[in-house]
Amino acid sequence: MAIKKSELYSSLWESCDALRGSMDASQYKDYVLVMLFIKYISDKWAGQPYAPITIPEGSSFADMVALKGSTDIGDQINKKILAPIAEANKLAKFPDFNDPTKLGTDKEMIDTLDALIGIFENPALDFSKNKADGDDILGDAYEFLMRHFATQSGKSKGQFYTPSEVSRTLASIIEINKVDTNTDITVYDPTCGSGSLLLKVGEFAKSKVTLYGQEKDATTAGLARMNMILHDNPTAEIKQGNTLAKPLFEDKNLQDNLKTFDFVVANPPFSDKRWSNGLTLPNDKYNRFKDYGIPPAKNGDYAFLLHIVRSLKRNGKGAIILPHGVLFRGNAEAEIRTNLIKKGFIKGIIGLPANLFYGTGIPAVIIFIDKENANNRKGVFMIDAGKGFIKDGNKNRLREQDIKRITDVFTTQKEVKGYSRMVSITEIAKNEYNLNIPRYIDNQEKEDIQDIEAHLKGGIPITDIDDLSNFWKVFPTLRKSLFEKINDNYSKLTIETEQIKDEIYSHPEFESFINQMNNLFEAWKTKNTQLLKALDKGNRPKEVITKLSTNLLQTYHSKALIDKYNVYQLLMSYWNETMQDDCYIISADGWVAETYRILKPNAKKKMIDKGWTCDLIPKELVINKYFETEKKALNDFETEKETITSQISELEEEQSGEDSYFAEIEKVSKTNVTKRYKELQKEDDTDKEELKVLKQYIDLHTKLTATNKKIKQAEKELDEKLYAKYPTLTQTEVKQLVVDDKWMQTIENAIKGEIDHISQRLTNRIKELAERYQTPLPQIDQEVTDLETKVNAHLTKMGFVV
């Protein structure tokens, strides 16, 4: 059975539990990722001739398993497994698996390493069988772990990782996918960290791509190298060293000259105060600062940017993530910024939300450098994407719709009010080459102004009604049916406030709009149902979602009142939660409704059977399709149970007072009430009504017990029928259950919910305006006066002098 992506992630994250404790996340990540690396290369290449990665005999994961329980297991892993692999493949030194300060001593170290190895022994983690062609499921798992480690590593130690969403955004806008498929492309990251950004850019290329990276930290450089291999880029060149002080990629044909690349990307440490360590300034032998200026001694942002400019080929393109301050800071940085703009190298800038990155909460910006046609560049394209994000724990995160919106707008250079704009160099020059985005794009939401005259005299301001013009374009006569003009400036509702929703929903124009939306979805559904049912083993899930999402965006493009990116997000959220796993299962196993037992350890660590399940087809879908009678019977029992439970609660409530029949019972339960009932039966002067109430309570509980038995028996019988049904499902039936009943029904419900929000927004705004100006000030004053008169009259009657 193919492992689901989500289960792979959770299984790998479990391995971290074996190492948590005294070790910081920035340390134990090294052990877990090395274990993932050894397991993966062993599954994929052990014993394979001409493999890109050499696994010496005796150094595979299986050999590591054989070391479990050894008194010197840590030393043996270092010498027999890691050292030979590192030497054979010229890899950086692995972390020490025999370090007592991190792994404990004696038995503690043995138990810790045994547990860690045990996690990766899970048969489901057979990576040779769990990789859909063209989809880096292992690479994605590595990214998952890196994100979690970065989250836990604290302020300074999370900088080894660029959030995947930011990497994807940068990779999308740099347009590496537009390069001719027959062209060999080079991509370079001078501060590559763990390599996530470099890999994301390479992933977008449609032609052969060679990746190059340099990283200052030795351990992180080792992570990057492993990351390249896990992402099927074993030929990538990753070097370790200080890029600014000693770049390790040089042009072999020219002395003291940097190697140049087609694309360069970077997410360097923000505002590095030690950037000039190892440099002799102002003379930089690579002439990176010539013609631009030398960055401030205590701020290296522009040092990295100028290194990128110097590392690009004549028509090369680059993108760098820097703090927002590079757009407007003065002095030396202002001089460099001015020279870059005058040369036409800055094609665009994208302002990102604050708190996206690990290690800092400040907002960042992507600066896009493009040397092609730089001399003819007349403007800088700007996007203010600072408001597009979702909260994720204590960080912010770009959503799928945010990434897509940024990409679409930037690549088409489309101007969107309050979001994007092409700003001429002339205008930038008038602002002294300050690129601060708010100077050029106003993204402030319109203030909801209170109309004083409307509060005094009543009526709804027509300007507020006009602000709903996007609705009136679609529902022109609806406005007339809702509002009646008082004068040139104010209108009033023609109906009561509580009738607004019904009036909108029942209006012919709104009904027509809903029908159009339904037809739009049905067209998309019909087309893509065929696509999905045509999937088979070996399908590429990432290609599947690209087709689905692209077609969905086309379907809702330029449709009134609908934000196509909101609809896109609904699909992408469901994809990430469910559909992705399903497609990987189909890619590995085909259209088979495979069931499996759920085994979980009890308190004594003995595996207990907790029933069965099927990942591809939830039980509820099969029940709804084939066991409607059994489901109705079970529902009837459940309804009966709810009725009895309600009657019991009502009886307990009635008899809860001090003088009630339950007052003598310390804790009301069937056992205690039965005991009380038997005691009263023996007494001669027993209140018959009390006996009747007690008997009623006992009978209800007896009936409840019987009903619970019926439910349990019905559930058991239904479960047995279900378990027998799954193996008999034909491929056609499985496709219908998965595609029609599971995927499409869920997506349809979500999109219809989004359409409902349209009417809700209109309804809520009209209701808000109506209620805001419903009672003008003179009427309020009169109501206050009337109430004051009534109160004074009552006080006078009571003998008080007012």
Q: Which two tokens stand for residue 576?
A: 């990430």
Q: How far apart are CA 251 and CA 259, in angstroms?
A: 4
Residue 157 pLDDT class (50, 70, 90 cuts): very low
Amino acid at 343: K
512 to each of 474, 475, 519, 760, how far by Cα in Å?
A: 10, 10, 11, 17
- pLDDT single digits (tens) 455-480: 888 899 999 999 999 999 999 999 99
Can you give the pLDDT at residue 794? Answer: 84
- pLDDT single digits (tens) 682-708: 877 777 888 899 999 999 999 999 999
Can you give the pLDDT at residue 283? Answer: 84
Can you give the pLDDT at residue 5? Answer: 63
SS3 annotation, 52-89 = CCCCCCCCCHHHHHCCCCCCCHHHHHHHHHHHHHHHHH
Instruction: Evaluate whether 270 touches 80 at the Cβ level (below 8 Å).
Output: no
Instruction: Evaluate whether 95 touches 34 at the Cβ level (below 8 Å).
Output: yes
% pLDDT > 70, the chain: 92
Mean pLDDT score, 264-290: 90
151 contacts: CB under 8 Å, gap ≥ 6: 158, 358, 393, 395
743 contacts: CB under 8 Å, gap ≥ 6: 532, 574, 578, 579, 582
Can you give the pLDDT at residue 133? Answer: 41
Can you give the pLDDT at residue 26? Answer: 59
With a cut of 60, say whether residue 2 has pLDDT above it: no
Q: How far apart are CA 760 and CA 397, in angstroms?
A: 27
279 contacts: CB under 8 Å, gap ≥ 6: 244, 245
Q: How far apart are CA 256 and CA 272, in angstroms?
A: 25
Mean pLDDT score, 197-223: 89
Amino acid at 769: L
Mean pLDDT score, 471-493: 94
More confident residue, 788 or 379: 379
With a cut of 90, say whether residue 376 has pLDDT above it: yes
Rg of the chain in Å (alpha carbons)? 34
Q: How far apart are CA 187 and CA 312, in angstroms?
A: 10
Q: How far apart are CA 652 and CA 693, in angstroms?
A: 10
With a cut of 60, say whether residue 420 has pLDDT above it: yes
Can you give the pLDDT at residue 331? Answer: 93
Q: Does the bond joining 296 to the residue before it have cis omega, within 30 degrees of 0?
A: no
Instruction: Evaluate whether 353 touches 388 at the Cβ level (below 8 Å).
Output: yes
More confident residue, 573 or 357: 573
Lowest mean pLDDT among 136-150, 339-353, 758-772: 136-150
Lowest mean pLDDT among 142-151, 180-189, 623-632: 142-151
More confident residue, 735 or 48: 735
Instruction: Evaluate whether 95 touches 82 at the Cβ level (below 8 Å).
Output: no
723 to each of 618, 627, 729, how far by Cα in Å?
A: 12, 12, 11
Q: How far apart are CA 529 and CA 747, in angstroms?
A: 12
- What region does 365 belong to: left with phi over 0, alpha with psi -120 to 50, or beta? beta
Q: To the nearest whole number, what is the mean pLDDT of the chain?
A: 88
Cβ-based burial of 267 (10 A; exposed 0-12, middle 13-18, buried ≥19) = buried
Amino acid at 451: D
Can you give the pLDDT at residue 749? Answer: 97
Lowest mean pLDDT among 219-233, 440-454, 626-640: 219-233
- pLDDT single digits (tens) 291-331: 999 999 999 999 999 999 999 999 999 999 999 999 999 99
With a cut of 70, say whether residue 148 has pLDDT above it: no
- What region does 193 belong to: left with phi over 0, alpha with psi -120 to 50, or beta? left
Lowest mean pLDDT among 15-24, 178-187, 249-258, 540-549: 15-24
Q: How far apart are CA 413 and CA 428, in angstroms?
A: 18
Angle, vertex CA 725, rays to CA 719 and CA 729, nearest 5: 145
% pLDDT > 90, the chain: 58
Mean pLDDT score, 37-53: 84
More confident residue, 317 or 124: 317
With a cut of 60, say whether residue 756 has pLDDT above it: yes
Name the helix (H) or strand (E) containing 177. none
Residue 447 pLDDT class (50, 70, 90 cuts): confident
DSSP code of 726? G
Which of helix, strand or coil describes residue 407? helix
Can you give the pLDDT at residue 135? Answer: 47
Spell out where 69-156 has E strands.
none
How far from chain centre, in Å, is Cα 392?
Answer: 8
- pLDDT single digits (tens) 559-579: 999 999 999 999 999 999 999
Can you give the pLDDT at residue 158? Answer: 42
First to last CA, the chain: 87
1 to each of 126, 584, 636, how far by Cα in Å?
A: 10, 11, 37
Can you give the pLDDT at residue 798? Answer: 86
